[in-house]
Amino acid sequence: MKEHAWKIKTAVCFLALIMAAAVGHAKSWISIGTQEITSFNAVREQCDADPDNGAYGRVAKNGIPLGNYFASNFLAPGTRITIPALTGENIWICRDRLNPKVWWRIDLLYPIGRTLGKRRTEVFVLNANNRD
């Protein structure tokens, strides 16, 4: 069953991005449903040998985040999301990937010493026309 779940989730996210692009309005947000949200710090214990660099660019300097970045395997690099229930109006940018065994998560980069735990809440994606 899990084998097919990722295909369905990927298809739903892809369709949401297509619908957002078709709308074409600046700053239009599309819900991708309830997602599992976790957090990580830019330290060797939680990352690879170079914790300051994500898969798609620099995310931290000496462990201090350079912006609101997140890791996700099912969202494209540069995708912008917002999670109003957890982080208010903050906009997060996809700059990293997760271990494939937790491909369904969205992992937010937090400052060293801060953690989020594991939460499930609604996530919104900015339309594809507003991506980096």
Instruction: Give tens-digit pLDDT for 69-89.
Output: 999 999 999 999 999 999 999
> What pTM was computed for the model?
0.74
Task: Give me the pLDDT at residue 25, please.
Answer: 44
Backbone angles phi, psi at 105, to 5 degrees: -85, 160
Residues 40, 96 contacting (CB under 8 angstroms): no
Residues 96, 56 contacting (CB under 8 angstroms): yes
Q: What is the pLDDT of residues 94-127, one digit of tens each?
A: 999 998 999 999 999 999 888 888 999 999 999 7
Average pLDDT of every residue of the chain: 81
